[in-house]
Each structure stands twice: as structure tokens, then as C-alpha cells.
Amino acid sequence: MAESDHRVMIGLEVHVQLNRLKTKLFCGCRAEYQGLPPNTNVCPVCLGLPGSLPVLNKLAVNHAIMVAKALNCTISRSFNFVRKNYFYPDMTKNFQISQYEKAGGVPVAHSGWLGFANDSSERRIRIRRIQIEEDPGRLEHPEGIGSSKYVLVDYNRAGVGLLEIVTEPDLASPDEARVFIQKLRSVLEHLGVCDTSREGAIRADANVSVDGGNRVEVKNISSYKEIVKAIEFEVLRQTKIIEAGGSVIRETRHWVEAKGMTISSRQKEEEQDYRYFPEPDIPIVSLDEDTLQRILDSMPELPDARAKRFVEQYGLKSYDANVLVLDKGLADYFEETVRLYTNPKTVANWIQSEILRQLNEKKIEINQLAVTPGYLAEMLHMIETGEISGKIGKRVLVEVANTGLPPRVVVERLGLTRIADVEFIRRVAEEVFRENPEAVEDAKRDQEAVNYLIGQVMKKTRGRADPDVANKVVRQLLNGG
């Protein structure tokens, strides 16, 4: 049986770092902790030193509210924080300040959805709730988990603001999960609340079940790129068990990136008791109408609105517009190029074919690509004026991507300019006629043979011959001219 014959249910708990904030969630330490020497981005508050108190970063609340609105959630007018109590060495206080919907807790937002286009229909994935919480520190196992003699702790990350976005189990395939994550990333990037490309910026736990079987929680997925891989593996694993006549056991598994597989955490399946209760050090946050409206008014354009605008303003097809806005970088790239080269459809086509190919081959993000919007526009101009052919353009783009040189320099260095010299092309055509007497004979009756001869002329000039000139010259020669 194929995988698609099984009913798959996937729910995600996505952790999004609020890494566009200057500071951590409850203190003045920097939110950007990457690359700093261990335990240098810390203070009494995020180290949980005796006597220190958390003070809520108000901008974090604004960011959470914008995300909640973008995900069509009900925003709580009054919400609080809770303590989630458990012992672990990456926790400076041995409790995490978080939000919860039970035990006297009210999270910032709940009951929303995120929609995306899939196979020409619109899918809506329901969001159960969004909560604000603090990131723990990081454990470093010098020789890998399980095989290290000792463990080091780095608290630079401790206290960085996170949003936990919990979906209902509405995702029906790993591919849907991929599009969902892409769309979510795009929303976050458009809102400017998360630089999703930063290490650790998006992490997730996934709940996966197949054919209504037991739910398996896959933890420790540490980047958005890994989410789909982990889900694919887990769906396949469960499918195989079911097809072999077995049943999936309810358990927690860990995604081991290096091995590309989920591994049972082998813990007794006892429910952790986190002893939630309202955080006494952070007063209840109440949002008055004005404040809320001010935050909502400050929201930038979101992907769906942008796609709509792309259709109206640039005449793109809805499908193409949606592909572009799925990656904010790509959409920005498109608009920047269009500013310099005003044929939006051509730009969109080039981005979706050649530019995306480069990104996939090089496994990079658009902002890492050497072909800047300026270079792409320059090259499109050269095609338009006939300096190079479209086919040569593709070659130029590859060269620009590889070397970082401007298109004009690439064209000159490789001698790729178009040849419009009639005499030169006639000499080439005569050579082609000598080498293909049969085709010449056929061409008197058969249009396909004519095309073949023209093609041979193009080939001999490595695509540089002006196709119109080549066409004219070949026909002239056939007519005895």
C-alpha cells in the first residue's frame, strides 16, 4: 500500500524565537546570543540568581499580539504568566515562565488558523493557542549525547523570548507540514518578529499518528528544515508497523538529526506533573482598546495581502503570486527587480525557474545569492535589447551566481554577445549546408528539415547567432540566394 492510502494526522508545537527584539524576555541581556563566548550574555535575572525578579519585555507582548492577529486568533484582553516547574540543568530557576490555559492561566491568544493554497484548494490549519515563554539555556555534550563524560551549560540563550504556537492535528501529510511551516515563516518574516534563518530560531515538537493509531510525540526538532524530514521519517515508520500488522505504541521519540531518524526516548510513559501556577512576580497584563488598536495598526503587510496585491498591481497569476510570497525574501527580491526592470511577468518567470533552481542547487537563501535584483534586471535588459538571447541569459545567470561578477562582465569575458553579422552567419550556414546535403534536399519540401538546418547554425555559433538572421539566411540559401 502506498503511503498516501493511510490517513495521517500531524499536529505541531512550533517554538519561535522573538529574536528581532533587542533584549531577552525578562531582562536587558541581548536576544541575539549566537556566537558569544559561553555564559557572557547573562545577568542576575536570566541566571536566576537569588533575589532577582523578571520584568516583562513589553515589546514581546506586541510581537505576540501581531502574530496572533496574523494567525486569526482570539486575543486575550487580559492574560498572565504561569510557572512550569521541573528540574533540568538548562533551567536557571528550575521552572520556566510560560503561559497555560489551565490552573489559573490565560495565554495571550487562542483559537485561530493559518491558511495556505494546496493543490488548488485552500487549506486552513487551526491554531489551538499561542503562548509567550522563555527559552532555557543550552546543554553542550562535548562528545555527543550519551557518550560524553560531562555536560557543559551555556546560559547565553536562557530567557530569550519564545512564542509557542500549537496547532490542532490538522496537517494531513509531511508535505502539508512543509507548506505550513513555509507559510508560517513567511508570516513571521513579514511581521519582522523573527529572523527565521538564525540558528535555533524555529524549533518544533510534532505529534504524529497514522490511521487513527496511537499518537507519537517527536521532540527535539531543532530547525525548520528538519521538521519535514522528521515527520516524513515518523510517518513512514508508523506506516510500516501498521502494514506489517503491528500497532504503534504511544510514546515520546527524539529526532536525531545526525542519523536522520526518530529514536524512542525510552522513558516510562508517566505524565510529567509541572505543577503550574500563576507567576506571582509578573502582574496580569491588561490590554485596553487603544493599545490593542495601536499594535494592530502598526502591523505591516502580510503574505496573503501581498499576493493579492501582486495579482492586482503586477498582473501575476494567483499561483505565481502565492509562490513568491511564501518566502518574504523572494517576494522582496521580486519587487526590487521589478523596480529596475518593469516587466513583472518576465521577472516572476525568471525567479520561479532559474533563480529557484540556483537556490535549490546551492541550498541557500535568496539573500545569499550572488545574483542581486540589480544583476537580474541588468541581464533582462540585455535580453530585451537583443544583446544576448534568452538561452544565453540562462547561462549568464549561472555564471553570475557562481562568480558574483556583473552580467555584462560575464557576457564580455565569455564572448556571449549575440551575432547579427549577416556575412558571418552566411559563412556558417554554407558550412552547415555542405555538411548536411540530405537535409538540404529534404528542406525543399519539409519545414522540419528547415528548422533542423537553422538549429545547426545556432549550434555552431553556440547560440550566439541572432535567430531571425539565421532564419533569413537559411531560407535565402535554400532559395538559391
Partner 1 sequence: MEAVFKMGASRIASAVNAGELSAKEVVAAYLERIAELNGKLNAYLHVDSTGARRAASSVDDSVVRGERLSLAGVPVAIKDVISVRGLPITCGSRVLRGYVAPYDATVVDRLKRAGAIVLGTTNTDEFAMGSSTENSAYGASRNPWAEDRVPGGSSGGSAVAVSGGMATAALGTDTGGSVRLPACFTGLFGLKPSYGALSRYGLVSYANSLEQVGVFARSVDDLALVYSAMLGADPKDGTTTNFSWSIRDAPSRGVEGLRLGVVAEMAGEGIHEAVSSALSTTCKELERNGVSVGEASIKHIGYSLEAYYLIAMSEASSNLARFDGVRYGEHPAFEGDWNEEYSRVRSLFGLEVKRRIILGAFALSAGYQEMYYGRASRFRTMLIHEFREAFKQFDVLIAPTSPTPPFRFGEKTQDPLTMYLSDVDTVPVNLAGLPALNVPVGTFTIDGTTLPLGVQLIAPYGRDELLFTVASQLERSGLSIARVVEPWGRIV
Q: Select the residue interacting with partner 1 from 1, 35, 78, 87 (CB under 8 A).
A: 87
What is the helix, strand, coil percentage profile of the chain, to 5?
40, 20, 40
Judged by beta carbon, residue 95 or residue 310, the one nearer partner 1 is 95
| Nearest CA-CA partner of 367 in 406, 398, 394, 336 | 336
Q: Select the residue interacting with partner 1 from 7, 53, 141, 225 (CB under 8 A).
A: 53
Note whether 93 binds partner 1 by CB under 8 A.
yes
Judged by beta carbon, residue 44 or residue 260, the one nearer partner 1 is 44
Q: Which long-range contacts (CB under 8 A, 24 or more apart) does 410-413 make?
A: 411/382, 411/387
Judged by beta carbon, residue 103 or residue 296, the one nearer partner 1 is 103
d(Cα 41, Cα 19) in Å, to the nearest integer? 14
Note whether 141 binds partner 1 by CB under 8 A.
no
Note whether 85 binds partner 1 by CB under 8 A.
yes
Note whether 59 binds partner 1 by CB under 8 A.
no
Angle at 112 between CA 109 and CA 118, to 5 degrees: 145
Note whether 282 binds partner 1 by CB under 8 A.
yes
Q: Select the residue interacting with partner 1 from 119, 143, 273, 290 (CB under 8 A).
A: 273
| Nearest CA-CA partner of 110 in 63, 72, 73, 77 | 73
**CA–CA distance from 323 to each of 172, 197, 304, 347, 353 (Å)?**
20, 19, 11, 13, 12
Note whether 142 binds partner 1 by CB under 8 A.
no
Q: Select the residue interacting with partner 1 from 22, 34, 40, 55 (CB under 8 A).
A: 55
Spell out the residues 6+ positions from residue 163 whose beta carbon is closer than 8 angstroms to its own. 15, 16, 18, 63, 64, 67, 130, 131, 132, 133, 193
Note whether 478 binds partner 1 by CB under 8 A.
no
d(Cα 169, Cα 345) in Å, to the nearest integer? 38
DSSP strand pairing (95-98 vs 8-17): unpaired
Note whether 44 binds partner 1 by CB under 8 A.
yes
Judged by beta carbon, residue 287 or residue 370, the one nearer partner 1 is 287
| Nearest CA-CA partner of 295 in 96, 130, 16, 68 | 68
d(Cα 113, Cα 68) in Å, to the nearest integer? 9
Q: Select the residue interacting with partner 1 from 271, 288, 423, 438 (CB under 8 A).
A: 271
Supply the minimum distance, in Å, between the C-beta of residue 100 and partner 1.
12
d(Cα 234, Cα 218) in Å, to the nearest integer? 8
Of the candidate spans 91-99, 175-183, 342-350, 460-468, the one that interacts with partner 1 by CB under 8 A turns out to be 91-99
Supply the minimum distance, in Å, between the C-beta of residue 345 and partner 1.
54
Number of residues lying near partner 1 (CB under 8 A):
32
Supply the minimum distance, in Å, between the C-beta of residue 233 and partner 1.
30
Q: What is the DSSP letter of 268?
A: -
Note whether 140 binds partner 1 by CB under 8 A.
no
Supply the minimum distance, in Å, between the C-beta of residue 200 and partner 1.
22
The C-alpha cell at 170 is: 490538522
List, in sequence order, every residue forming a beta bridge with 161; answer none if it has no partner.
134
Supply the minimum distance, in Å, between the C-beta of residue 369 and partner 1.
44
Q: Select the residue interacting with partner 1 from 19, 41, 92, 131 (CB under 8 A).
A: 92
Q: Select the residue interacting with partner 1 from 35, 37, 50, 144 (CB under 8 A).
A: 50
d(Cα 422, Cα 435) in Å, to the nearest integer? 20
Judged by beta carbon, residue 153 or residue 370, the one nearer partner 1 is 153
The C-alpha cell at 257 is: 538529526
List, in sequence order, every residue forming a beta bridge with 152; answer none if it has no partner.
140
Note whether 283 binds partner 1 by CB under 8 A.
yes
Supply the minimum distance, in Å, between the C-beta of residue 409 and partner 1.
56
Where do contacts with partner 1 occur on this chain (CB under 8 A)? 44, 47-56, 83, 85, 87, 89, 92-95, 103-104, 150, 153, 271, 273, 275-277, 280-283
